[in-house]
Structures are given as C-alpha cells and as structure tokens.
Amino acid sequence: MAREGEPGSEKTFKLLGILDVQNIPCSRESILYGSLGSLAVGLGHFLATSRVRRSFDFGMGGFVLTTLGCWIYCRYNHAKLRIQQRIIQEGMRNKILYESSDFDPERKQNSNVESNS
C-alpha cells in the first residue's frame, strides 16, 4: 500500500472519467480559462437581456469556444517548444560528436580563414 509522500501515491483528477487533467499538458489551463469565459459570457448576456435559458446557452458556447481556443493555442506553443528542444539537442549532440575531428564544420571554416590570411 502506498503512503503519502511516496512516488506513485499521487491522486489524479479525471474530468468525465477520461481526461486526466493533471498529466495532460494544457488541459488544466484550458478548462480553467473556459470556465472563466463561460461565466463572463453567460453573466454578461444575462445582465444585458435577463433571459436565463438563453444566457445559459451562451455560457456553454463561451465555455466550448474559450476552452478550444486556449487548448489549440497552448498545444501549438507546446509542440513548437518541443521541436526547438529537439533541434537544440541534436545540435549539441553533433557538437560533442564532431568536436576536434576532421568532420567539425567550425574547424574547416577556421582553417579556410587562416589559409586565406
């Protein structure tokens, strides 16, 4: 049995039983911003028209649109960051691999500059 403080004893929050909010990147922020957008749109529509059912519909629409918008924006930035990290890791790997060898591109550039001088 896992005790508190041990690895693997973390409780996760699953939304609708399928979406693990804690472990999926961007899900927590998207749902929080979606609920805030839902509240703002629904309350704003209610204050403007005093129609309860229609305001609820607008609130649900605001939730869906805000959640999807935040999700897409965050996932795009997350994917872009992962691509940049992969490029940097590959460059560092090549730098370590080719450093001080005949295949080092910087060594070839330096030797060409020295020979031209």
Q: Are 62 and 45 in contact (CB under 8 A)?
A: no
Q: What is the pLDDT of residue 1?
A: 44
Q: 15 forms bridges with which residues in the sheet?
A: 19
Question: In a 10 Å sphere around its CB, with 0-12 CB exposed, 13-18 middle and 19+ buried, how is residue 98 labelled?
Answer: middle
Within a domain: 98: yes
Within a domain: 16: no
Domain with 78 in it: 24-107
pLDDT > 90 in the chain, percent:
50
Within a domain: 17: no
Amino acid in position 114: E
Question: Domain total for the chain?
Answer: 1
Q: What is the pLDDT of residue 17?
A: 65
Whether the model clears a pTM of 0.75, i.e. scores above it, the answer is: no
Within a domain: 73: yes
Residue range 35-72, pLDDT digits in tens? 999 999 999 999 999 999 999 999 999 999 999 999 99
**Is residue 109 predicted with pLDDT exceeding 90?**
no
C-beta pairs of 107-116 under 8 Å, 24+ apart in sequence: none
Within a domain: 14: no
Within a domain: 94: yes
